[in-house]
């Protein structure tokens, strides 16, 4: 394990981070989710705390959960639960980082009882969830808002489109088809974008290192804002 210098660049800052995948229930025993492990969000939370931030980690389903000393973890299931948990802490937050893989759709109805295998086929009707990041962008005041973008093609185009549409300060984009990037691994390959375009293109590195680089960019923006 590599050790990283811990300049306390986020001393006293209130940081809200979302991690993991959301769970959208079909019935009492079944749900829709995705491959997110939560590792990127947990690495961000740990690094921000080490830099002196007051961290709240709002976590959906994760593969493994390291206990992080001094971090307030709030567990949520659905996109709507996550929205509520983030909004409750939004007004006082200095930095919000949306690394969670939020479901884009949820079942229109949630059966009260276990769905029985009556027919030869079953069609699920899904509806859009609320876009949490977009909602935060619309209500943004002092907060530095950081979003993620998981793409398989036209990375820069889609990343910049998300940054603008969701009114983010930074977008961390990764090509999830690239080896060592994205879901369920300990490494990532990302590019960081701001309103000015590409800020940093990082090589393959551990999610901890990536977390440090993202928070460096956030600290830089905070500093220019405070000057
Ligand atoms: N996001 C969110 N709420 C949603 C969906 C996504 O807050 N209902 C956030 C994610 O946490 C991430 C960013 O939006 O920070 C981008 O997520 P991504 O899935 O890459 O983009 P989408 O806008 O959902 O578009 P698409 O899946 O079609 O690429
Ligand atoms: Ca999506």
Which residue ranges are tagged as binding site?
Answer: 104, 114, 148, 162, 166
pLDDT one-digit tens code per residue, 147-179: 999 999 999 999 999 999 999 999 999 988 888
Ligand 1, CB cutoff 6 Å, lining residues: 79, 98, 100, 102, 104, 129, 131-133, 147-150, 162
Q: Whose CA is nearest to atom 20 of ligand 1?
A: 149
Ligand 1 probe mutation, 104, 137, 145, most atoms within 8 A of CB:
104
Q: Under a CB-based contact definition with an 8 Å cutoff, are residues 199 and 217 in contact? A: yes
CA distance to 22, 172, 216, per residue, from 105 (Å)? 11, 22, 33
- Residue minimizing CA distance to atom 23 of ligand 1: 162
Q: Name the one residue in this structure whose structure tokens are 């025993």.
A: 29
What's the pTM? Answer: 0.95
CA–CA distance, 225 with 95 (Å, rounded to integer)? 13
Token readout for 184 is 């369920």
Task: Please state the ipTM of this predicted complex.
Answer: 0.99
Catalytic residue at 34?
yes
Tell me which DSSP letter residue 114 carries.
P
pLDDT tens figures, 81-113: 999 999 999 999 999 999 999 999 999 999 999
């Amino acid at each position: 394990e590599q050790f990283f210098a811990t300049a306390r660049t986020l001393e006293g800052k209130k940081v809200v981070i979302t991690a993991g995948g959301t769970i959208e229930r079909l019935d009492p025993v079944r749900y829709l989710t995705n491959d997110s492990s939560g590792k990127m969000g947990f690495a961000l939370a740990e690094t921000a705390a080490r830099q002196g931030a007051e961290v709240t980690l709002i976590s959906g389903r994760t593969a493994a959960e390291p206990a992080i000393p001094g971090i307030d973890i709030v567990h949520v299931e659905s996109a709507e639960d996550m929205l509520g948990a983030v909004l409750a802490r939004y007004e006082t937050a200095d930095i919000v980082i949306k690394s969670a893989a939020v479901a884009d759709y949820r079942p229109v109805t949630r059966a009260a009882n276990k769905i029985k295998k009556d027919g030869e086929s079953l069609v699920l009707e899904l509806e859009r969830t609320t876009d949490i990041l977009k909602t935060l962008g619309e209500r943004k005041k002092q907060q530095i808002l950081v979003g993620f973008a998981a793409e398989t093609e036209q990375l820069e185009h889609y990343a910049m489109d998300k940054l603008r549409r969701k009114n983010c300060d930074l977008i961390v984009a990764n090509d999830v088809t690239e080896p060592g990037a994205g879901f369920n691994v300990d490494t990532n390959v990302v590019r960081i974008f701001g309103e000015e375009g590409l800020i940093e293109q990082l090589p393959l590195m551990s999610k901890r290192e990536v977390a440090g680089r993202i928070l460096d960019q956030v600290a830089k923006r905070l500093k220019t804002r405070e000057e």
